[in-house]
Amino acid sequence: MTSDHTKYTFGQPRIVRQINLQTVTRQMRKMELFSKIGLARELGISTTTMTKLFAQLEEQGLISRSEVEDTSFGRPKILYQLAPELQVAAIVIDLQETTICFSDLQGSAKPEHMLKLPTGIDVDDLFARIKREFTTLKTRLNAQCRLIGVCIPGLIESQTGQSMLNPNLHWLEGVRPAERISEALSIDTFVMHEERALSRAQLRTPDATSNYISMDFSAGVGMSVVVNGQPLLGSSGYAGEIGHIIMQPGGKQCGCGNRGCLETVASDLVFFSELDLPPAAALELLANRNPRALKIAENVLEWQAKGIAAAINIFNPDRVFIYSRLAQVYPYYIEDLRKEVKRWTIGLLFDNCRIRTTHEGKLTGALLLTIDRLIEKKALNAE
């Protein structure tokens, strides 16, 4: 397996073709226990179709009958649950920190199921430490992991899963992280783009829609665009690199090789580096309303707003989810941001769009994408 948007080339089973498998399994994930009739009613799918789908999912070991029976309507009804023994893991390689996390098919990132290690700057050393720490955690949790999703920044070649351009982790370029991890741990592994993970996490929010954008200002500046429920990938899967549009010709050097990209003026890293402080100390200054920290943060926020406005003008989303650490401590962050975005956006498009901050990060999204992939793989292989 390679990257997160490899197309399935084999035929799909009839029932899976008839209904949206992900719609059903996502609904299942919202409930601890569910019944065929309840789910059919909820999703407007016929009971006959649902019965066939349940049989298929049960055969593939994705769902299992629960001990409990629902007798609330007089007649006993069998309840099901997502197979509790199926586990996946996500490995999120970020600029400073790498996180390993296990989860069942519900996809919650529980602190007791994860560990963090410094990412460092040496590729062989990082993969050796991932192998060691992953094995320790797996043993401690007694987890039977069926699939690992590795989440990385930068451009990923879709066929090979190779990191092609990685402005903030140059040493990952040319590396195929899924291959390395799969070889080291002997577990099926695929690689995904961090912005797709962040964007997938937003489907969990109460007001999720099918036309939205998520924008990430945490390290570089990244974006994922979802149109009619599908991520926009572009011809090579590289779409969304808004961080590398030029905002200041001849400006600061960017990791991509150009100068003055949005990323060089609008990311949280710019705020930290201009204060010349580690993130925690810089954020503390901002929380205490230090005038210099506030001024730098205001400037970064203005650039973020320009990037967001450009995205709204181009894609006409009805939601924009913003991930920035500044939002955690900056007073009135979202109010100030909305005001600025409004200045730079066509009125009709702005009025149609809600801008909000998000705390559902890459890790949650990486787990959810890994679960999606496992379910698809098992269900589609069932033919």
CA distance 328 to 91: 24
Nearest to 65 by CA among 52, 47, 77: 77
Our CB check for Zn ion shows the closer of 4 and 241 to be 241
Q: Scanning the structure block, which residue is given the tokens 């990938």?
A: 233
CB of 257 to Zn ion, least distance (A): 7
In angstroms and rounded to an integer, the radius of gyration of the C-alpha atoms of the chain is 22
Q: Is 246 helix (H, G, I), strand (E, B) or coil?
A: strand
Our CB check for Zn ion shows the closer of 261 and 375 to be 261
Residues in the chain: 383
CB of 244 to Zn ion, least distance (A): 4
CB of 247 to Zn ion, least distance (A): 10
The strand ranges marked E within 228-300 are: 230-231
Nearest to 307 by CA among 233, 249, 246, 234: 246
Our CB check for Zn ion shows the closer of 84 and 257 to be 257
Token pair recorded at residue 269: 């890293």
CB of 222 to Zn ion, least distance (A): 11
Our CB check for Zn ion shows the closer of 107 and 240 to be 240
CB of 359 to Zn ion, least distance (A): 27
Buried b (16+ CB within 10 A) or exposed e, 335-346: ebbbebbeebbe
Q: Do residues 232 and 339 touch, judged by C-beta distance below 8 A?
A: no
CB of 267 to Zn ion, least distance (A): 11
Our CB check for Zn ion shows the closer of 204 and 259 to be 259
Our CB check for Zn ion shows the closer of 224 and 370 to be 224
Nearest to 293 by CA among 319, 272, 263: 272
CB of 261 to Zn ion, least distance (A): 3
Q: Scanning the structure block, which residue is given the tokens 């590398």?
A: 244
Our CB check for Zn ion shows the closer of 6 and 258 to be 258
Task: Give the Å distances, CA to CA, from 40 to 32, 43, 48, 101, 306.
Answer: 16, 5, 9, 33, 44
Which positions touch Zn ion (CB under 5 A)? 244, 254, 256, 258, 261
Token pair recorded at residue 71: 């007798």
Give, rounded to a whole angstrom, the gap between the first and last alpha carbons of the chain: 19
Our CB check for Zn ion shows the closer of 107 and 307 to be 307
Nearest to 131 by CA among 172, 96, 159, 89: 89
The sign of the dihedral angle between the CA atoms of 56, 60, 63, 67 is positive
Our CB check for Zn ion shows the closer of 35 and 267 to be 267
Angle between helix 268-275 and helix 291-315 axes, rounded to 10 deg: 160
Nearest to 147 by CA among 186, 189, 113: 189
Our CB check for Zn ion shows the closer of 256 and 283 to be 256
CA distance 208 to 289: 33
Token pair recorded at residue 370: 């890994």
